[in-house]
């Protein structure tokens, strides 16, 4: 039986769009660029996932968000049973070091 390595559920990363002072004063609704909007995937032991798409479609933002280099707007990122959306800075630093060591051995 294969072990689940990474599970991503409803991952979202929205960036706020800057508005002018007048819009802020008038209380207009905040607008967002939805770089990643509700994606799901999982990777089991021995599998490889390839993100493919045109420039500007969220591939790099997805990778950075999964690694928590940027904070997700919403969603769950579970790595080997550990919820990365709840991990603190030290836990993430240790985890990234382990992942980097693994990638060097491949």
Domain ranges of the chain: 4-104
Residues 6 or more apart from 38 whose CB is under 8 A from it? 10, 11, 12, 75
Homologous superfamily assigned to 4-104: P-loop containing nucleotide triphosphate hydrolases (3.40.50.300)
List 52's β-bridge partners, or say none.
Answer: none
**Total residue count of the chain as it appears in this document:** 106
Please count the CA atoms within 13 angstroms of the CA of 69 that sit on its side-chain side: 7
How many CA atoms within 13 Å lie on the side-chain side of 49?
A: 16
Secondary structure letter of residue 84 according to DSSP = G
Q: What residues pair up with 100 in beta bridges, in sequence order? A: none
Question: Over the stretch 15-66, which tens digit does the pLDDT of each residue have?
Answer: 998 877 776 667 777 889 999 999 999 999 989 899 999 999 999 999 999 9
The pTM score is 0.80
pLDDT of residue 78: 94
């Amino acid at each position: 039986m294969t072990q689940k390595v990474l599970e991503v559920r409803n991952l979202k990363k929205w960036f706020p769009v800057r508005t002018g002072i007048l819009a802020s004063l008038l209380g207009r609704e905040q607008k967002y660029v939805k770089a990643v909007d509700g994606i799901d995937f999982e990777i089991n032991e021995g599998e490889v996932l390839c993100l493919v798409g045109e420039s500007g479609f969220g591939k790099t933002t997805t990778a950075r968000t999964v690694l928590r280099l940027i904070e997700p707007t919403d969603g769950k990122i579970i790595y080997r049973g550990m919820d990365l959306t709840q991990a603190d800075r030290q836990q993430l630093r240790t985890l990234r070091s382990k992942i980097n060591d693994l990638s060097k051995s491949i």
